[in-house]
């Protein structure tokens, strides 16, 4: 059994772990019970009514969080040589085409958080699709990460756009900010995420698509949110 600190235990005094809370109250509890000595992330964990083994029930979508996640993302841009300067100017951390793809194929190292691509590069990316896909970093038109408009894609990600997809257990997880964020900003981010999740409901999903929603901070307790 994991031993908890006195500060952690004290933060939970008077908290009912068995009830569901309105989003604002749940956020306040997450902030109150974060006892780590760094600016912890605030995460939303959603249990979905899907069968993850069925391809027609998979969930993947992109959403712009109005206040971002609080983390600067390293963006890789797979582009043709003529667009490399544009991608660098837009803020991509890693820019390249066939040479970058060959390097990733050889090393299998992904030194970036998210990737975008020109449509012209998609046939080349097939060589590393498995490497990117297993890490959830394969550019996809479905999430708006494949487009001729390289600058727009990069700027949207830098401005708070995130991608989410269900895991192998049919759950979905997303960072929606930092403990240091004002409650109102976290609430706005959570609302934007939940609206996008509902809009992404696959046709094959069960009627109770969203079963439970839980908010937690890094290494902190989780609090059920009223749906």
pLDDT (tens digit, 9 = 90+) per residue, 101-154?
Answer: 999 999 999 999 999 999 999 999 999 999 999 998 999 998 899 999 999 999
Alpha carbon distance 35, 5 (integer Å): 9
CB count, 10 Å around CB of 52? 15
Q: Which of 159, 188, 208 is the last residue of a domain?
A: 159
**Which one, of 215, 182, 217, 188, lies nearest residue 38 by Cα?**
217
pLDDT (average), residues 20-34:
95
Q: What confidence tens digit (pLDDT) does each residue in 48-104 have?
A: 999 999 989 999 999 999 999 999 999 999 999 999 999 999 999 999 999 999 999
16: left (phi over 0), alpha (psi -120 to 50) or beta: beta
pLDDT, residue 1, reads 42
CB count, 10 Å around CB of 67? 18
Residue 1 lies in a domain: no
Structure tokens at 142: 């479905």
Full-model pTM: 0.80
- Helix 183-199, helix 23-32: angle, nearest 10: 130
Does the pLDDT of residue 7 top 70, yes or no?
no
Same domain, 61 and 169: yes
Alpha carbon distance 28, 105 (integer Å): 45
In total, how many domains does the chain have?
A: 2
pLDDT (average), residues 219-226:
93
Alpha carbon distance 110, 112 (integer Å): 6
Owning domain of residue 137: 75-159
Q: Which of 159, 185, 201 is the last residue of a domain?
A: 159
pLDDT (average), residues 189-218:
94
Same domain, 123 and 91: yes
Residue 140 lies in a domain: yes
Q: Which of 138, 159, 180 is the last residue of a domain?
A: 159
Enclosing H/E stretch for 222 = strand 222-225
């Amino acid at each position: 059994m994991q031993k908890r600190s006195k500060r952690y235990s004290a933060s939970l005094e008077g908290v009912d772990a068995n009830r569901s809370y309105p989003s604002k109250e749940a956020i306040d509890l997450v902030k109150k019970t974060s006892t780590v000595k760094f600016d912890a992330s605030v995460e939303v964990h959603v249990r979905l009514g899907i069968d993850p083994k069925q391809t027609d029930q998979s969930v993947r979508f992109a959403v712009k969080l109005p206040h971002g996640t609080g983390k600067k993302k390293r963006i890789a841009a797979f582009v043709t040589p003529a667009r490399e300067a544009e991608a660098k100017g837009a803020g991509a951390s890693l820019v390249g085409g066939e040479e970058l793809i060959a390097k990733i194929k050889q090393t299998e190292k992904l030194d970036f958080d998210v990737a975008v691509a020109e449509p012209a590069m998609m046939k080349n990316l097939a060589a590393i699709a498995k490497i990117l896909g297993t890490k959830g970093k394969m550019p996809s038109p479905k999430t708006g990460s494949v487009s001729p408009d390289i600058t727009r894609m990069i700027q949207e990600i830098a401005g708070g756009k995130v991608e989410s997809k269900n895991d192998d257990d049919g759950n979905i997880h997303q960072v929606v900010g930092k403990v240091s964020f004002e409650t109102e900003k976290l609430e706005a981010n959570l609302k934007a995420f939940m609206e996008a999740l509902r809009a992404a409901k696959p046709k094959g999903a069960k009627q109770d698509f969203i079963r439970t929603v839980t908010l937690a901070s890094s290494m902190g307790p989780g609090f059920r949110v009223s749906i």
